[in-house]
Amino acid sequence: MGEDVKAIIGSLLINGTQKEALRDGVVIIEGDRIRKVGQRDEVTIPHGIKIFDGTGMTIMPGLIDAHVHLTGWRRGDTTGRYDTALGIARAISDAYNMLEHGVTAARCCGSPYTPSIKRAIEESTIEGPRFMASGAFISQTFGHGDIHHLPLEWVRDIRVIADGVTECRRAVREQLRNGADFIKVMAGGGTSSQLDELEYPQFSPEELKAIVYEAHCVGKMTAAHAHGLTPIRHALACGVDSIEHGTAIDEEAALMAAESGRFIVRNCYTPIKAYEETKGFTEIGDYTEWAFRRHKINYEHNKTTVRLCREMGCKQAIGPDVTGCEPYDVIPKNMKAFMELGGYSAMEAISCCTKTGSEVMGLGDRIGTLERNKIADIMVVDGNPLEDVMVLAPKENIRLVMKGGKPVILRGIKIT
Ligand SMILES: [Zn+2]
């Protein structure tokens, strides 16, 4: 082995593939790559190398957030919508916050800042997860990306509104010009836009097909926001690669997604939270009547469709759809919801957030699992997430985060 070799040892090793966890696991890292993974008695640790000692802890792949918006927005505070510098400053801090919680890779599904933040991370100006960035998302007028209660000029500043095939093509090409890694499009109604119901399909088939065509021409994937069954069917028929949310999917659409290898990226926690935090109260707090009503619809659908998708063989990834500033318990809370609603085991839920996440990013051959020759994106957590996934929630439990073989978060782990 060459130089820059290090090892991580731990009492348990989860490799992300759903294979049985190893007792007394060891990972040998050389440069940015994983060279060996195994049990203590079968892996020889080269003499004199640095060892990160996670005895009593669990080694596992870094988490992958498959749907975030690095916008710097804060709930109940609209400042970030028009103060660009503030938005960017917060987004940089939020990217670091994600890393601190063990998120080593993320797919940003809509923020004009992320292509540049991604570049700053790659050139080591700042620290953050490995990002795939869509740039601004694309919406039709009167679509989910067109926030109807705001003046149109504000809306146009932060996302792309396109109508007609020509504008749709231009919108995609502009995002590609800005460095987008994939294209995010709003194919149906949502909870945060006032006038479009969840079941409304958005963009005509000609428009949506043109968007997909322009992306696929240059080897980029497309992600479509779709909650209602009609938008889900519409997006699948037009050839998008991932359905974001997929809340009201039925058996036929789930089968179509599964058979064609398309992804469903889920957020199962926020709607539950929104519902549970507000039910029983006549007052609906932060939520307007229309948003609350739609969260309830999503909540009811999630009770059956997470399981349906699992049973139909869909690849489901975890994408909490937040802005990155949260304590980031949204990831383990989603894992828990996958287990409760979808019947996933803890091992499978972890795999949804690691291996499947890497696949939806198009990086399945490089990250997402702890296997020989993969990039060393690894975390060490104090506790056993197979017994309780919520040990992943407090950042104090995340004792080591390694990104590309480099320790980026060290929280009291012994180094010998
Ligand atoms: Zn989103």
Rounded to the nearest angstrom, the distance between the alpha carbon of 326 and the centre of ligand 1 is: 15
Rounded to the nearest angstrom, the distance between the alpha carbon of 20 and the centre of ligand 1 is: 33
Q: pLDDT class for 1, splitting at 50, 70, 90?
A: low
What pLDDT does 23 receive? 97
Rounded to the nearest angstrom, the distance between the alpha carbon of 110 and the centre of ligand 1 is: 7
Q: pLDDT class for 324, splitting at 50, 70, 90?
A: confident
Q: Does pLDDT of 282 surpass 70?
A: no
Rounded to the nearest angstrom, the distance between the alpha carbon of 185 and the centre of ligand 1 is: 10
What pLDDT does 286 receive? 59
Average pLDDT score over residue span 36-49: 95
Q: Does pLDDT of 281 surpass 50?
A: no
> What is the three-class DSSP state of 200?
coil
Q: Does pLDDT of 163 surpass 70?
A: yes
Stated pTM of the model:
0.95
- Sorted by sequence, the CB contacts under 8 Å of residue 3 that are 6+ apart come out as none
Q: Does pLDDT of 311 surpass 50?
A: yes
The least confident of 11-15, 81-85, 181-185 is 81-85
Rounded to the nearest angstrom, the distance between the alpha carbon of 135 and the centre of ligand 1 is: 12
> What is the three-class DSSP state of 77?
strand
Average pLDDT score over residue span 326-340: 91
Q: pLDDT class for 14, splitting at 50, 70, 90?
A: very high
Q: Where are the alpha helices (DSSP H) in 190-268?
A: 205-217, 229-237, 251-259
Rounded to the nearest angstrom, the distance between the alpha carbon of 43 and the centre of ligand 1 is: 43
Provide the mean pLDDT of the chain. 93
The percent of residues above 90 in pLDDT, for the chain, comes to: 80
Q: Does pLDDT of 284 surpass 60?
A: no
Nearest residue to 7 (alpha-carbon basis) of 30, 32, 41:
30
Average pLDDT score over residue span 348-353: 98
Rounded to the nearest angstrom, the distance between the alpha carbon of 69 and the centre of ligand 1 is: 6
Q: pLDDT class for 2, splitting at 50, 70, 90?
A: low
Rounded to the nearest angstrom, the distance between the alpha carbon of 109 and the centre of ligand 1 is: 6
What pLDDT does 157 receive? 61
Apex 131 CA angle, 169 and 163, nearest 5: 20
**Complete domains list, the chain, with CATH:** 5-62+368-415 (2.30.40.10), 63-360 (3.20.20.140)
Rounded to the nearest angstrom, the distance between the alpha carbon of 244 and the centre of ligand 1 is: 7
The percent of residues above 70 in pLDDT, for the chain, comes to: 94
pLDDT in tens, 95-150: 999 999 999 999 999 998 999 999 999 999 999 999 999 999 999 999 998 888 77
pLDDT in tens, 213-242: 999 999 999 999 999 999 999 999 999 999
What pLDDT does 189 receive? 95
Nearest residue to 193 (alpha-carbon basis) of 110, 302, 98, 92:
110
- The DSSP secondary-structure symbol of 367 reads S
What pLDDT does 278 receive? 59
The least confident of 7-21, 256-270, 286-300 is 286-300
Average pLDDT score over residue span 258-284: 75
Cα–Cα distances (Å) from 328 to 177, 179, 203, 319, 390, in that order, read: 31, 27, 33, 12, 11
Nearest residue to 176 (alpha-carbon basis) of 207, 217, 140, 209:
217
Rounded to the nearest angstrom, the distance between the alpha carbon of 270 and the centre of ligand 1 is: 12
Rounded to the nearest angstrom, the distance between the alpha carbon of 29 and the centre of ligand 1 is: 35
298: which 2 tokens? 């999503």
What pLDDT does 283 receive? 47
Rounded to the nearest angstrom, the distance between the alpha carbon of 385 and the centre of ligand 1 is: 27
